Structure 1
Amino acid sequence: MAKQIYLKPELRFPAFSDDWKALKLGEVFEFKVTNSFSRDNLNYEYGAIKNIHYGDIHTKFQTLFDISKEMVPFINDEMNVNRISEDFYCREGDIVFADASEDLNDVGKSIEIVNLNNEKLLSGLHTLLARPIKSVFTKGFGGYLFKSNSVRIQIQKEAQGSKVLSINVGRVSNINISFPTLPEQQKIASFLSAVDEKLQALKKKKSLLEQYKKGVMQKIFSQELRFKADDGSEFPEWEVKTLGEVCEEHLLKNAGNNYPEVFSVAKHKGVINQIEHLGRSFSAKEISHYKLIFPGDLVYTKSPTADFPFGIIKQNRTGRIGVVSPLYCVFKPKTYSLGYILHEYFSSEINVYNYLNPLVQKGAKNTMNINNGVFFNGAGIILPIDHAEQTKIANFLSAIDEKIEMVQGQVDKMEVWKKGLLQKMFA
């Protein structure tokens, strides 16, 4: 056995002062056999045995995995599981690692199984199933230990590959892990679990606000929900208008490079500073030929995303003048509020698809072959024409957006705080 090393974390509860014990992961865990069932071998409707797919560890499972609170797929009945030993089924206290990822930050991402609810569960494709061989961990501590900064850095260093990074049992077994006495572990696990519960409550609050907004927008655009004028009178009927009737394209360029801020256009965040969104600038060194985009302007990207195969349409809500790619189509709505409404209308994948599908021809390298004149004269959209009604709708939706942004800000702050805890509470 390797010589034990003793450590202390930077931040800990005042009742504890003992050194932490350090061992190799392979001295504390043994690895069990996992299966290689693909998504095609799984379903969410029926079955006797559930299966952990590595993609779900990356995208949705909580650090402390409670099967009664997670959407976990079943293994299809036709798949043969008879030869799988009972010893290879997941148990409470097991750690399941995702052994592959294209992103270094996600390789080796893990969960701890804390509740199986008497259900049968297997660890599947691209996972490593680690089981404690010594009673050194209290329930919940291992889940956070393997999220800690000290362990994550080691796992990332052990990752191999170019396009797809991966880890294996041999390399993971060699990383160092440190842990305190069981009472201190329990205190840490309980505290971080409470932090996670608060974080999940905030995320749920945000999700409910987004669902509410989506429902309200459906009612607004179907005219099931109508606003009234300040004097109580009805606003005029909505009219069918082409984009060309309510917007005007402008081709203003960044002559003299007077506006250095380059914007990207994202499907969720909309118009956003490119460096803030992507981490660095992808623009050309010379941006005098880039198009200006003013506050309230709309922009059509003409480039596909997974959910928007014909491109996305967003409003500049930054309050700043910037520039966008010369390949984009930039246009000014008759009013800021109308632009706000069009932005929300085109936030729907269905609305964008229905509008652009008849107009766009895909060229080489997924470029969008669409003339701007054709774009502005597509199918008509039913829109409010009265400026006062436009303003009421925009203000109403903006108020919901502000609440969503406020909650997202709380989520962001708590995630930063939690990240700091995971750095300082583990040796």
Structure 2
Amino acid sequence: MGLLSALDGRIQTQNKIIRELDVLKNVISQRIFSQELRFQDSNGCDFPAWETKKLKEVCDINPKIKSVPNSFYYIDLESVVNGRLLKEDRILKSEAPSRAQRVLAKNDILFQMVRPYQKNNLFFDKKGEYVASTGYAQIRTKQSSRFIYQYLHNRRFVDKVIERCTGTSYPAISSTDFGNIEIDCPSLSEQIKIGDFLASIDTKIDLENQLLKKIQDQKKHLLANLFI
């Protein structure tokens, strides 16, 4: 039982680390997107002022795509949790639901249009045949995709989306209203710095989550073998 107690302690510590990293990222993100915290270029000079634009002016929302492949990995609204793709089920086109329409390309962004307060959005950085549900907006941009994803995933932007939602049980926003929301855009160079910086925190959180799962699996294995 001493080993079980040790594993419980490690799980508790690991959960605390993840919570603190989540809080850190939220605080830093708020400061960045409110422009309270600014980055500088390689010469230590300030980047140009941010410009306010409509989302549809810097992104292609639900771009026209080639036909859905005969077999693909399907991403529905239950596949993503807080920016992490947790489920990848390969299905046949003939068996796919009618909502399987968003054929993805690397660096696309998926934004949850139904119940957006859940923030189950995704920066898609995979290769292969993936198709997402029309419950997401598919976003493609010539700006920094990582920056746009982080901006859209931030609470400030999500609140703007929620204000424009209709419906009670399943509040949702239309693609037109979504594209008309204004965002603040820095220069491309600053976008890249911001996107890479926040992505590095996400990577750290992912690694800590992987370690947590490993410890939890060790505990499950130990419990399963206690009475053998």
- TM beyond 0.5: yes
Tell me what 1:381 maps to: 183
Tell me what 2:137 maps to: 329
Say which SS state the counterpart of residue 153 (structure 2) adopts: coil
**1:423 corresponds to 2:227:** no
Name the CA shift for 1:283/1:351 in 2 (closer, same or farther; >3 Å): farther
Distance 1:296 1:334 in 2: 10
**1:353 corresponds to 2:159:** yes
Q: CA deviation at 1:281?
A: 6.6
**1:362 corresponds to 2:173:** no
Q: CA deviation at 1:329?
A: 2.7
**1:224 corresponds to 2:32:** no
State whether residues 290 and 323 of structure 1, in contact with CA within 8 Å, keep that contact through their aligned partners in structure 2.
yes
Tell me what 1:285 maps to: 95
**1:247 corresponds to 2:59:** yes
Distance 1:367 1:216 in 2: 28
Distance 2:194 2:176 in 1: 28
Tell me what 2:204 maps to: 403
**1:261 corresponds to 2:64:** no
- The amino acid across from 1:393 in the alignment is I
- The amino acid across from 2:83 in the alignment is K
Name the CA shift for 1:314/1:269 in 2 (closer, same or farther; >3 Å): closer
Distance 2:87 2:72 in 1: 11
Distance 2:71 2:45 in 1: 44
Number of residue pairs the alignment of both structures matches? 224
Q: Say which of 391, 395, 413 aligns to 2:192.
A: 391
State whether residues 70 and 93 of structure 2, in contact with CA within 8 Å, keep that contact through their aligned partners in structure 1.
no
Q: CA deviation at 1:323?
A: 0.5
Deviations 1:299-351 (A, max 9, x none): 2333226x44xx7543323354411124543220223x3x3223223334553
Which structure would you say has the larger Rg?
1
Q: CA deviation at 1:284?
A: 6.4
Deviations 1:52-107 (A, max 9, x none): xxxxxxxxxxxxxxxxxxxxxxxxxxxxxxxxxxxxxxxxxxxxxxxxxxxxxxxx
Q: CA deviation at 1:286?
A: 4.4
Distance 1:366 1:355 in 2: 14
State whether residues 147 and 194 of structure 2, in contact with CA within 8 Å, keep that contact through their aligned partners in structure 1.
yes
Q: CA deviation at 1:396?
A: 0.9
Q: CA deviation at 1:294?
A: 1.2
User: Whose RCO is larger (CA < 8 A, sep 6+)?
Assistant: 2
Say which SS state the counterpart of residue 233 (structure 1) adopts: coil
Q: CA deviation at 1:236?
A: 0.6
Tell me what 2:15 maps to: 203
Structure number with higher helix proportion: 2
Distance 2:184 2:210 in 1: 34
Tell me what 1:298 maps to: 109
Q: CA deviation at 1:260?
A: 1.0
Deviations 1:100-120 (A, max 9, x none): xxxxxxxxxxxxxxxxxxxxx
Q: CA deviation at 1:204?
A: 1.2
Name the CA shift for 1:272/1:284 in 2 (closer, same or farther; >3 Å): farther
Q: CA deviation at 1:374?
A: 2.9
State the TM-score, normalized to the length of structure 2: 0.83
Say which SS state the counterpart of residue 11 (structure 2) adopts: helix
Note the 1:28-427 alignment, pairs <5 A: 188=1, 190-249=2-61, 250-255=63-68, 257=69, 260-265=72-77, 266-271=80-85, 273-275=87-89, 285-286=95-96, 290-304=101-115, 307-308=117-118, 313-326=121-134, 328-335=136-143, 337=144, 339-349=145-155, 351-358=157-164, 360-362=165-167, 366=170, 368=172, 370=174, 372-378=175-181, 380-384=182-186, 386-427=187-228
- The amino acid across from 2:172 in the alignment is M
Q: CA deviation at 1:245?
A: 1.1
CA RMSD in angstroms comes to: 2.9
Q: CA deviation at 1:367?
A: 6.7
Distance 1:395 1:259 in 2: 33
Instruction: Calculate percent identity across the aligned residue pairs.
Output: 26
Distance 1:399 1:234 in 2: 22
5+ residue gaps, structure 2, are: none
Tell me what 1:121 maps to: none
Tell me what 1:74 maps to: none
Deviations 1:174-197 (A, max 9, x none): xxxxxxxxxxxxxx2x22111111
Q: CA deviation at 1:362?
A: 2.4
